[in-house]
Amino acid sequence: MKIYMTEDYQTMSRKAANILSAQIILKPNSVLGLATGSTPVGMYKQLVTWYEKGDLDFAEIKTVNLDEYVGLEPTHEQSYRYFMEEHLFSRVNINPANTNVPDGLAADPQAECKWYNQVIRQMGGIDIQVLGMGRNGHIGFNEPGDAFELETHVVDLTESTIEANARFFASRDDVPRQAMSMGIKSIMMAKKILLMVSGEDKADAVKRAFVGPVTPQVPASILQLHPYVTLVGDKAALSKLMEAKQ
């Protein structure tokens, strides 16, 4: 695993954007696996800036997002489809037909998950998967559990995740209780992983993920087994990992 430790959130965002743009430049028809949440916002902003300067071209890029809340329409401000439109898709020259996010309003979420697995397969797999990490070690919405869920599946969100995400909704009761998430196998099959972490509140999860056993109780720990992981984090988020490694 390659680790880049940066001073703060801004430099972490820029480093992650550097890595993603290298991918886009070297392989203009890349399949990018994308994440939402507060961590990658600065990276998307940087990519948009470079696109506006003429340094990046998304014309042939295809994307597949990690997850979506069950029950939120694509125009809902807290839906992940809306997030992606806001932060990236509507701001660059990507073909909307090449962007994929599970449909939160699908009448049959299980069938939607099956269809999503097909989409990933038909794209020929993911070239680079961007990930953030939850404070409980989740990646995508793969929550701590007794087993690693393999492919896209419907998840009951844990109290910890509902609590963490309540800040984006009018009230805690408005946070959806379920989501659809890419599974661990789909994530692990990506050729490269770019894991981004920022802030002191992630420091414990980062340490538990990379120092200690690979266990579904800390879903991100599976990344220890991936051959090509780049971890980009600010000092605060990496502090406990670095301490443990000394």
CB neighbours of residue 167 within 10 Å = 9
Query: In whole angstroms, how close is the CB of 78 to ligand F6R at the nearest point?
Result: 12
The residue among 196, 189, 191, 190 whose CA lies nearest residue 47 is 196
Q: Which amino acid is at 210?
A: F
User: For residue 47, what are the β-bridge partners?
Assistant: none
143 is known as an active-site residue: yes
35 near ligand F6R, judged by CB under 6 A: yes
* CB of 29 or CB of 38, closer to ligand F6R: 38
Question: Nearest residue by C-beta to ligand F6R?
Answer: 132
CA dist., res. 113 & res. 134, Å (int): 22
Span from 12-20, 136-144, 149-157, 204-212 in contact with ligand F6R (CB under 6 A): 136-144
Q: Pick from 30, 39, 46, 129: which binds ligand F6R (CB under 6 A)?
A: 39
Q: How far apart are the first and last CA of the chain?
A: 16
Judged by CB under 6 A, the chain residues 61 through 100 that form the site for ligand F6R are 66-67
If one counts every other C-beta atom within 10 angstroms of the C-beta of residue 144, the result is: 17
Question: Would you count residue 33 as binding ligand F6R (CB under 6 A)?
Answer: no
Whether 136 sits among the annotated catalytic residues: the reply is yes
Catalytic residue among 65, 136, 142, 165: 136
Residue with Cβ nearer ligand F6R (94 or 157): 157
Can you tell me which residue has the tokens 């807290």? 78
Please identify every residue annotated as catalytic. 67, 136, 138, 143
| Residue ranges that bind ligand F6R, judged by CB under 6 A | 35-39, 66-67, 132-134, 138-141
